[in-house]
Amino acid sequence: MTDAAVREHSRPALTDDREGMSYLDSIGRRLVHLYLPLGLIMVVLIFPFYWMALTAIKPDNQLIDMDTYNPFWVVSPTLKHINKLLFETNYPTWLWNTMYVSILATVLSLFASVLAAYAIVRIRYKGAQWVGAAIFLAYLVPPSILFIPLATIIQAYGLFDSPMALVLCYPTILIPFSTWLLMGYFKTIPYELEECALIDGASRWQILVKIILPLAVPGLISAGIFSLTLCWNEFIYALTFLSSTTKKTVPVAIVSEFVDGDIYRWGSLMAGALVGSLPLVILYSFFVEHYVSAMTGAVKE
């Protein structure tokens, strides 16, 4: 054996991780390829929330006089806007309406999506894939087109200016995407588990409840978070179907109640947006691991 071969043989083999990340060994490359992109992404994502929180605690004079005061900082912060929002307006009622509508519509949509996704993926019948594609294509229909015929139906059934109008209309935009998402997740669950249960005499309902749903918890959480977020922030349907001040949801109420013609009460607007976004932030913080796992992987055979 030659000296070169001996040296090559005695050299310690690099692990896969070392080989994959070796280009980041130098400080310059880490700065350019890692820290700089991450920093830009953080600034782009966090700055709107920083501006919202900053505006919510600024005194009125600092909101107007941008020449004297730094617009990116606050001097003598105040909680006047938040206090006025919570105790001098109907904001608690608006927040309750938003939670009520969002939770009911999400539960209804998840129930229908689970049944639809399971039927398309597991019950093998001719044209199942075409049905799944058609359901997903329904998600691509803009809500701005649907709200006109839906308004006619809501008016005919006497549900206008009622939160139940939103509960029944939101699933039209939630079910298609949730069904498509759950279809992809159900496909990753080994079919052998279901075959064994069928051999043991289990019914389709028992298989769905006792086998599929426990294994699909990350997918259900992902679809639920998506549906809840979409309901929480939806504007067009809430603006069209609700007219009474006490029945409005947060996105519509803060815009209609804190804008007087061409005068924008920015402190109250940003305070309402900030407080209204906190429940979703808390929700994401609790279930972020399940949400990521549903996006990146599933059950292994």
Backbone torsion region of residue 45, taken as left when φ is above 0, otherwise alpha when ψ lies between -120 and 50, otherwise beta:
alpha
Count how many residues are written for the chain: 301
| Whole-angstrom distance, CA of residue 265 vs CA of residue 271 | 10
pLDDT by residue (tens digit) across 60-108? 888 887 778 888 888 888 888 888 888 888 999 999 999 999 999 999 9
- pLDDT band at residue 112 under the 50/70/90 scheme: very high
- Model confidence at 6, pLDDT cuts 50, 70, 90, reads very low
- 174, 283 Cβ separation under 8 angstroms: no
> Are the CB atoms for 56 and 274 separated by under 8 Å?
yes
The DSSP 8-state label assigned to residue 264 in this structure reads E
Count CB atoms within 10 A of the CB of residue 296: 8
Q: Report the C-alpha gap between 170 and 227 in whole angstroms.
A: 9
pTM for this entry: 0.79
Q: Provide the pLDDT for residue 111.
A: 94
Q: Which domains does the chain have, with CATH numbers?
A: 18-78 (no CATH), 83-296 (1.10.3720.10)
* Digit-coded pLDDT (tens) for 174-224: 998 888 888 888 888 888 888 888 888 888 888 888 888 888 888 888 889
Could you tell me if 182 and 119 are in contact, meaning their C-beta atoms sit under 8 angstroms apart?
no
Dist. CA 44–CA 56, nearest whole Å: 20
